[in-house]
Amino acid sequence: METSPGPRPTPPPDTAPHAAVDAPTDPLFPATAGHRSPSRDRQPVPGRGRRRARPATEPPGRRRTGPAPAGRADPAGAAARTPAPPASDGTADPAERSNRRRALLIALGLTAAGSAAALVTGLLSWSPEPADPARPLSPAETDRLAAMRVTNQRDVRAGVRVSIGTGPDRTELVGWVDWARPLVYLDVSGPGAGAERGLVQATSTVVVQRPQPPAGPVPTPPPLVPPADGWRLREPPAGGGIAAVRDLLLGLGAAQPDPVPAGARWLTRETRDGMPMDVLRAPLPADPDPARQPRLWLDRDARLHRLDGRLPDGRAVNLELARTDRPTLRPVDALGGWPGLPRALADEEVDRLARLPGRLRATGGAALTLSAPLGPAANLTGAGWLSWTGAGAYLATGEDDNPGRRTLRRTLDGRVARAELPTADAAGAPPPLPVPAGTRWSAPGPPGDDVDRLLAAALRAGAAPVPAGAAVRVRDDRLADRPVDVIEVTAGRATLRYWIDHGGLLRRLELRTGRGVWSRLDLRPGPVPRLPAPQRR
């Protein structure tokens, strides 16, 4: 029976295979009895790169506890398997190392949290550096800006969409502008339109409006053939609304190139509807305030497509032009109607004009319908009769926006008497026959306004020929399904238009007023009632 050998002798300290005589000292990893010297035990392997030596000792808390590997001597026998006491400086204490690691992690967490807070604060307060790409115009850009208004004039017309203001004060205007005539025709809508809601036609000096109730939520263009009735002369306040948009639109056309102001700047380049455009900032030549410098979107052919700026009243305005939307516009009758192609009278037209007085006297008279936009508070309509054989007329006129009161006019031998008549009749109703008892007439006098002058011209048409030498045929037209020739005659300061049918009878007479609009009398020749004579007060 074999007996187990006794304990193996402990090698001397200087011959111990695991002595750490040349091991580096590391405060985090102190030398222990089991440390191997890399200089003695680890030799480079031929054909392979050098490897970093293992740490001089195992980290605390992960000390090897199993039996020593084969081929290695156990330096202390059973004592070697007993955990060594901790180092006297405490660096090998696992709890302290854990605390230091925890402190390191906490410090890193606090640093990360502080960095995140600083990042969030910086993002909230960050604003980009003001980058101003604006620069002076190049020669090509200068040429396009100078030719912009001439290009509009050459293109004649364009569709327009204008937005004034924002939110509940927004006004939308959709329609067309004709730079050659010039004329603006718009439908005005939007929550901020107010009293301006409706159809609008305007020249450089005159605005006429046809009020209408609110339409749908989406602004739509006005009808190409405008309604014939309901138009009123307006004087919108300058600097805002319709007047400012009219001035802006018509001011975009000119016959000559403009000098480009020194302050014009190129801002950027954009693509709209697949077309590259330059965005410029420059004051408009027609704007009296050079401080207002709108942004202009111009294509390579000097055509304006968009404008962003402010009206004189300070409200923001956005204008977009539809360059391919170019229908021919027809002004309403108050603005002269279809312009036509004026020419000299043909022989048959001269003959009809010469025979006109006799034919009118032969019919005896005519029923009258009046439309006379004399002013914003004097858009008169009326009805009555005219007698060429009796050289007199009897008419009742009233203001469309002020019902309940009418004016009676009695014209005889070139003199006019008036009487005010309270009534519940509509403004366009004919005058009462007989005249109500107690009506008090003013003393007869010369014509006092454009209505009196229009009546006097209608009576003269049945008394003397119209001078053909001063006449021009403006156009052919239709009235009450009858073809007519529109002949314009200028005599002194008065301009009249005679609408004569092919039978030689006068169907309409127009007078151009001092405000630049046309008042008109529509005539239906035929028998008329006996007209009353004016009574003195």
pLDDT digits (tens, 9 = 90+) for 410-450: 999 889 999 998 876 777 789 999 998 888 899 999 999 99
For the chain, the residue count is 537
Q: List Cβ neighbours of 396 (8 Å cut-off, separation of 6 or more).
A: 382, 383, 384, 406, 407, 408, 409, 421, 429, 430, 431, 432
Cα angle vertex 400, ends 397, 402, to 5°? 95
pLDDT at 208: 96
Cα angle vertex 133, ends 131, 139, to 5°? 170
With a cut of 50, say whether residue 67 has pLDDT above it: no
Picking from 524, 525, 460, 463, the residue whose alpha carbon sits closest to that of residue 496 is 460
Helix (H, G, I), strand (E, B) or coil at 296: strand
pLDDT at 96: 54
Helix (H, G, I), strand (E, B) or coil at 298: strand
Tokens representing residue 31 in the block: 């030398």
pLDDT at 71: 45
What CA–CA distance (Å, rounded) separates 372 from 231? 10
Higher pLDDT, 54 or 332: 332
Phi, psi of 378 (to 5 degrees): -145, 55
Q: What is the pLDDT of residues 136-146, one digit of tens each?
A: 999 999 999 99
Q: List Cβ neighbours of 528 (8 Å cut-off, separation of 6 or more).
A: 364, 365, 366, 367, 385, 386, 387
147 has which bridge partners?
none
Q: List Cβ neighbours of 481 (8 Å cut-off, separation of 6 or more).
A: none
Strands (E), 275-352: 275-281, 295-298, 304-310, 316-322
Band of pLDDT at residue 48, cut at 50, 70 and 90: very low
Q: What is the pLDDT of residues 362-418, one digit of tens each?
A: 999 999 999 999 998 889 999 999 999 999 999 999 987 777 788 999 999 889 999
Q: What is the pLDDT of residues 228-274, one digit of tens each?
A: 989 999 998 888 899 999 999 999 999 999 999 888 999 999 998 88
Higher pLDDT, 112 or 18: 112
Model pTM score: 0.73
With a cut of 80, say whether residue 296 has pLDDT above it: yes
Fill in the amino acid letter for 106.
I
Contact 219, 174 (CB under 8 A): yes
Q: Please give the average per-residue pLDDT across 288-303, as a whole number.
A: 91
In which residue are the tokens 């977009």 written? 320
What CA–CA distance (Å, rounded) separates 535 from 418? 10
Picking from 150, 174, 154, 149, the residue whose alpha carbon sits closest to that of residue 320 is 174
pLDDT at 286: 79
103 has which bridge partners?
none
- Cα of 410 vs its chain's centroid, Å: 51
Q: What is the pLDDT of residues 305-327, one digit of tens each?
A: 999 999 999 999 999 999 999 99
Tokens representing residue 476 in the block: 């052919």
Domains, the chain, in order of start with CATH, read 136-322 (2.50.20.20), 340-525 (2.50.20)
What CA–CA distance (Å, rounded) separates 513 from 454? 10
Picking from 400, 494, 513, the residue whose alpha carbon sits closest to that of residue 451 is 513
pLDDT at 522: 97
Fill in the amino acid letter for 442.
S
With a cut of 60, say whether residue 36 has pLDDT above it: no
Q: How many CB atoms sit inside 10 A of residue 468's CB?
A: 16
Strands (E), 388-449: 392-399, 405-412, 415-422
pLDDT at 125: 53
pLDDT at 423: 76
Contact 185, 200 (CB under 8 A): yes
Q: What is the pLDDT of residues 466-503, one digit of tens each?
A: 888 889 999 999 998 999 999 999 988 899 999 999 99
pLDDT at 131: 55
R_g of the chain, CA atoms, integer Å: 50
Picking from 322, 309, 258, 326, the residue whose alpha carbon sits closest to that of residue 286 is 258
